[in-house]
Amino acid sequence: MTRVILTRHGETQWNIEGRVQGAMDSPLTANGIYQARVLAKRLLDEKISVLYSSDLPRARATADEIRKVLNLPEVKVEPAMRELSFGDWEGQEWNRLRGAYPDLFKLWEHNPDQVKIPGGESMQHVTERAWSFFLSLADKHPEQTLCIVTHGMTLQLLIKRALGIPIEDWTNVPWQYNTAVNILDITTEGEVIPVLIADHKHLNLENK
């Protein structure tokens, strides 16, 4: 069996500013770096032998903080785990977009999978590319524990698939805070077993 620990990158400047990131990037904040280090300490007892990251800089920076704490030799970069491309929306403030596209955002609130973002990537495509890579890990790393640093939307779509939630159903999808922990086991037969979903106890948000 292969154990895969999936997490989201640490807080970024655009997270704070409420901007759309997607395939564009902004740096980790000081808090984002702190989140990555706290996450790494939480993962010390998980016996992680391989560390993957999306190819986007915010994910790679988060993964590198984990790598240093876990004393791993490298971060393997995997483009299949990058964030959904939001096309023409990237770099813009979510609130301004809501004002500019009121009808589109009414649909986004309830059925985001049906929204056609100008120049963007479909959720179906993101799900397929990320899920295909995820399933391949059982053959590449049998009997190992891996950690993958990815992004909010990509992570939500992967977890939906793992839980058997249809892509159009957003009512039962847990929110993935920055550096939330998800643990999934893949058996030798290819069965995916959810162990832990969207856990963020290391962030101690209740005391903030």
Catalytic center residues:
9, 151
Closest listed residue to residue 151, CA positions, set 81, 55, 76, 79: 81
- Burial readout 5-24 (b: 16 or more C-beta within 10 A, e: otherwise): bbbbbbbbebbeeebbbbbb
Question: How many angstroms separate the CA atoms of 20 and 96, rounded?
Answer: 11
∠ at Cα 199 (111, 55), nearest 5°? 70
Closest listed residue to residue 6, CA positions, set 70, 62, 86: 62
